Amino acid sequence: MGSKVSTMAAKKRKRIASSFHSVTSKAHSSSQNSSYPNTPPNCTIDEKSHTVHDHSSHISSVTESMITSGRTFHHVENSAYWFPNDDEEMDRLIGVRLDLEHNNALVLDLGCGPGTWIMDVATEYPSSEFIGVDMCDVFPNNIRPANVSFQVGNILKRLPFSDNTFDFVNMRLFIIALKKEEWPILLKEAYRVMKPGGYMQMVECGMLERGNEFVRQSGTIFREMIETLGQDPYVAFKMKTLMEQQEVEVCHYENIDVFLGKQDRLSKEFLWDVCNIFKSAQAIIQEPLGYHTDNFHQFLEKLYKELQKKPDAIWSFSICVGRK
């Protein structure tokens, strides 16, 4: 967790021209969809990559970026996602991991980012097959386990997979990606592509609301920014309801507090992550925090120190697992 692996992200960046383009290196043959009865018209199935190719869809250049305050951001129309998609952000995202107890499965990771979760789990479960989808091609195209492939796609549009395809669907840290009303769309689509009896897992973080005054004030400004953008700062506590609304049977819900001032390795890595979340949010949050480009590093240095003071600064993560 927290290892700096920007070289991995830096080695790729091959811009691909299709909004649902498979970047797996294996040679795939497309075929008509004999074993996929619910394939939409004008589509064929690549049975090896479990991908629906929509021949009627508009082919365009994908993952165009724009630069603001020295950071690179996606340029995807109508997307509420407001964090950067550059190598520095991929370093931050590579900072968090979880366990998955499943094997010989077909696994989908939605909004996979740089592929942190999928690559860890795929290495642990070599006999399962893993597909990551993200609207930006920030995932590794070349260096990845043999049982992993990635595709560019917008999860708010129909996913390029048939109904009942996956044993496990993972969705992690969409809190800053989706507007409030977009959560049911994501869950509905995830449900559609899951096999009956398959599992979905959501992991989301809470707000920074416990700690000293400086920490709480900073957390409040971050929360207000999320609300201003039409997003839900407390979605971590609503995941059960969101799943139940899609008739997913919730089998596990857990909330974990992370003490950011503790000196163990894991706590230090979460401390690093919180500071880097604020760093990634600089373009949009520096002004409400009362800083500007030239002195924002002073805010980050202060935050790093204050997060380690009493009363304890606590950040929480929630995990929800449900069954179709």
Ligand X SMILES: C[S@@+](CC[C@H](N)C(=O)[O-])C[C@H]1O[C@@H](n2cnc3c(N)ncnc32)[C@H](O)[C@@H]1O
Q: Which residues bind ligand X (CB under 6 A)?
A: 79, 81, 83, 85, 93, 111-113, 116-117, 134-136, 138, 154-156, 172-173, 176-177
Min dist CB 280 to ligand X, Å, is 9
Question: Any idea what DSSP says for residue 49?
Answer: T
Beta carbons of 151 and 107 less than 8 angstroms apart: no
* Of residues 182 and 306, the one with the C-beta less far from ligand X: 182
* Of residues 135 and 283, the one with the C-beta less far from ligand X: 135
Min dist CB 202 to ligand X, Å, is 10
* Of residues 95 and 214, the one with the C-beta less far from ligand X: 95
Percentages (nearest 5) of helix, strand, coil residues in the chain:
30, 25, 45
Min dist CB 305 to ligand X, Å, is 25
The one-letter amino acid at 322: G
Instruction: Please name the residues in contact with 86: beta carbons below 8 A apart, sequence gap of 6 or more.
Output: 65, 71, 72
Task: Name the β-bridge partners of 234.
Answer: none
* Of residues 93 and 215, the one with the C-beta less far from ligand X: 93
Min dist CB 322 to ligand X, Å, is 18
Q: Which residue is nearest to ligand X (CB)?
A: 113
Nearest C-alpha neighbor of 236 from the set 206, 258, 208 = 206
* Of residues 72 and 147, the one with the C-beta less far from ligand X: 72
Residue with tokens 């630069």: 67
Min dist CB 90 to ligand X, Å, is 8
Min dist CB 176 to ligand X, Å, is 6
Distance CA 315, CA 210 (A): 7
* Of residues 174 and 296, the one with the C-beta less far from ligand X: 174
SS3 113: coil
Min dist CB 260 to ligand X, Å, is 19
* Of residues 1 and 312, the one with the C-beta less far from ligand X: 1
Distance CA 276, CA 260 (A): 13
Distance CA 290, CA 271 (A): 22
The one-letter amino acid at 2: G
Nearest C-alpha neighbor of 208 from the set 75, 281, 313 = 313
